[in-house]
């Protein structure tokens, strides 16, 4: 990637989003960082400005707001700031069975993980095409390639959506100078499992199943540069994806159900 381009990273305050911000800054990109935690964004922006001599703008925002993406893009346009690289990373998990949470919780989840990334692409893509350059990374998951499990009901579904969305966009953008990639990491060391309350359970996973966020970010940027519509991080994750593609659906579901019982967060309620 060339320097002096500007990247927008959502969910940039920690984990994979922070790692993307660091890697993009290392490559000379100016940044717009957004997440809910303004204090963390300010600290990260200050560090990256000083370390890499880039411009880093902080735009605290809750993408769970229906008007969030439109307001963010409007603010950027008002400042004359164009976005060359979009990293749709913001996300979280909702543990428990589907009916155990109020619909408002699920609606907010769908807004953050599906609607907001789609709208940000919709609002930023035309200018990317007009300039003949753009990079869009939708941070999906290995979960989008395997059968959904009980608990975290919408998580795998949202990631499968981002994968298919990215594939279609990549075809639509062919020849325009805009590359679109769904990045699909598996277990990644970050705060994600602390926020969902599953840290103790997933800590039972063997070390070889885990990746670190900086590696995920570096590989994701390399993949979008190479024009890969879908990129699964790591040999182990690729092997898991390949295995589930070969298995009959009924057998794959039984395997997921068996593993899910080992790592489910909390008992079934009701």
CB 216 within 8 A of CB 167: no
C-alpha 126/C-alpha 105 separation (Å) is 32
- Pick the catalytic residue from 92, 122, 155, 161: 155
**What number of H helices and E strands is found in the chain?**
11, 9
Whole-number Å distance between alpha carbons of 162 and 84: 20
Nearest to 253 by CA among 127, 104, 148: 148
Residue 222 to residue 18: CA distance in whole angstroms = 17
Give me 145's structure tokens.
Answer: 């390639």
Residue 183 burial class via C-beta count within 10 angstroms: exposed 0-12, middle 13-18, buried 19 and up: buried
**Three-state SS sequence of 112-171:** HHHHHHHHHHHHHHHHHHHHCCEEEEEECCHHHHCCCCCCCHHHHHHHHHHHHHHHHHHH
> Any catalytic annotation for residue 92?
no
Pairing of strands 187-189, 85-88: unpaired
Roughly how many angstroms between the first and final C-alpha of the chain, as a whole number? Answer: 52
267 DSSP assignment: P
* Residues tagged active-site: 155
């Amino acid at each position: 990637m060339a320097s002096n381009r500007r990247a927008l990273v959502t969910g940039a305050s920690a984990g994979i989003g922070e790692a993307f911000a660091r890697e993009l800054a290392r490559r000379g990109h100016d940044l717009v960082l957004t997440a809910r935690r303004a204090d963390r964004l300010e600290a990260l922006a200050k560090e990256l400005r000083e370390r890499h001599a880039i411009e880093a703008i902080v735009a605290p925002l809750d993408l769970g707001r229906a008007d969030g993406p439109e307001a963010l893009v409007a603010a950027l346009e008002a400042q004359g700031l164009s976005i060359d690289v979009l990293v749709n990373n913001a996300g979280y998990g909702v543990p428990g069975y589907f009916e155990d949470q109020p619909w408002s919780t699920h609606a907010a989840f769908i807004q953050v993980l599906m609607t907001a990334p789609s709208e940000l692409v919709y609002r930023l893509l035309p200018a990317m095409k007009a300039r003949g350059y753009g990079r869009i990374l939708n941070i999906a998951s290995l979960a989008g390639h395997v059968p959904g499990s009980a608990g975290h009901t919408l998580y795998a579904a949202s990631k499968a959506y981002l994968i298919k969305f990215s594939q279609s966009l990549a075809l639509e953008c062919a020849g325009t100078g805009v590359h679109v990639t769904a990045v699909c990491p598996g277990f990644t060391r970050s705060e994600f499992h602390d926020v969902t309350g599953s840290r103790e359970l997933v800590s039972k996973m063997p070390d070889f199943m885990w990746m670190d966020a900086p590696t995920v970010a570096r590989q994701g940027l390399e993949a979008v540069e190479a024009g890969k519509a879908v990129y699964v991080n790591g040999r182990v994750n690729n092997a898991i994806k390949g295995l589930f593609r070969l298995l009959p659906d009924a057998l794959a579901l039984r395997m997921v159900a068996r593993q899910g019982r080992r790592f489910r967060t909390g008992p079934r309620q009701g």
